[in-house]
Amino acid sequence: MRRALAAPALIILGMLASTAASANPQPWQLNMTRGATETSAQVHDIHMIMFWICVVIGVVVFGVMFVAMFRFRKSRGAVAATWSHSTKLEAAWTIIPILILIGSAWPATALLLRMADTSDSEMTIKVTGYQWKWRYEYVDYFGKQPGINFVSSLETQSNRTRQLDSGLDPAAIKVDGVSTYLLDVDKPLVLPAGVKVRFVVTADDVIHAWWVPSLGWKQDAIPGIINSAWTQVDQPGVYRGQCAELCGRDHGFMPIVVKVLPKAEFEQWMTDQAPAPAVEATAITLAPTTAPQG
């Protein structure tokens, strides 16, 4: 009996404690991953801190409740007491939560300050949300203007399959044996590993939100407003995400793919892209101090 319970318990614990940075969502995934950056790992940590605080409070409160429900049943002959007040108890359960909250606000504040600090970034990407695709402009790379600018939208196989009554099997769409249905694009955003990248995020029609879970944040893309955020991915790989703000009919069909290459390969990729098609230099000059934080 005990062994029969142990196996599923181990699997569940394993899923909860999953530390492997996985770029794709996994079947039966129960928890946030640690992601691909130092920031996303810290976000995961603070999420787990809050989770365990809630678990402990829950065990205590529900535990007391269940004990009460079993001990103080009328059917067991329990006679109701008449007390209804205790200053000591009430003071305790006001002060202890305050201390717990201060304890959790502290690391949250530190992490928020870190995430808001886009200074010293070595590269800037402008992300523009459209119904229902993303435009990426390489605004700045170590002081140079790469002039790369392209649109990224859902790849055709997913797009055919997702039509109503297409009769096509979503599970058939795979890359390296992992489902990429609705999570793959025709042209991914390519980034160098180990470089602090600043994103400036906006939109051209309605509000979108640019979200790659492995990077640890999402940022709304709002017409008329430029938001900023940053990331530094050290591990080359492919990281997937989706639009996270309802943006109309095809909101569920505008994925994001970030392909991180080693720096040398990235620079090779950049030269392969040039000469960029004659796109108007819409790259805005961004004073680093004026962008609102993300």
Partner 1 sequence: MAHAAVHDTHHDAHDHKPEGFLHRWLFTTNHKDIGTLYLVFALTMFFVGGSMAMIIRAELFQPGLQLVQPEFFNEMTTIHALVMIFGAVMPAFVGLGNWMIPLQIGAPDMALPRMNNWSFWILPFAFTLLLSTLFMPGAGPQGGWTLYPPLSLQGGNSVAFVIFAIHMMGISSIMGAINIIATILNMRAPGMDLLKMPIFTWTWLITAFLLIAVMPVLAGAVTMLLTDKFFGTSFFNAAGGGDPVMFQHIFWFFGHPEVYIMILPAFGIVSEIIPTFARKPLFGYQAMIYAVASIAFLSFIVWAHHMFTVGMPLGGELYFMYATMLIAIPTGVKVFNWVTTMWEGSMTFETPMLFAIAFVILFTIGGFSGLMLAIVPADFQYHDTYFVVAHFHYVLVTGAIFAIMASVYYWLPKWCGNMYSERWGKIHFWMSVISVNVLFFPQHFLGLAGMPRRIPDYNVAFADFNMISSIGGFWFGASQLLFVGVIVHAVFFSKNRATTRVWEGARGLEWTVPSPAPHHTFSEPPVIDDSMLAHGDVTH
Q: Which is nearer to partner 1, 100 or 151 (CB)?
A: 100
Q: How far apart are CA 203 and CA 222, in angstroms?
A: 5
To partner 1, the closest distance from the beta carbon of 284 in angstroms equals 15
Q: How far is the CB of 165 from partner 1 (least distance, A)?
A: 7
**Cβ of residue 7: shortest distance to partner 1, in angstroms?**
18
H or E element at residue 2: helix 2-16
Helix (H, G, I), strand (E, B) or coil at 230: strand
CB burial of residue 134 (10 Å; 0-12, 13-18, 19+): buried
For residues 15 and 264, which CB has a smaller minimum distance to partner 1 in the complex?
15
Query: Do the Cβ atoms of 114 and 39 come closer than 8 Å?
Result: yes
Residue with smaller CB distance to partner 1, 116 or 276: 116
Alpha carbon distance 22, 24 (integer Å)? 6
Contact (CB, 8 A) for 255 and 74: no
Looking at beta carbons only, is 12 or 281 nearer to partner 1?
12
Least separation in angstroms between residue 10's CB and partner 1 is 18
Distance in Å, CB of 270 to partner 1, minimum: 28
Between 163 and 285, whose beta carbon lies closer to partner 1?
A: 163
Asked if residues 36 and 240 have their Cβ atoms less than 8 Å apart, the reply is no
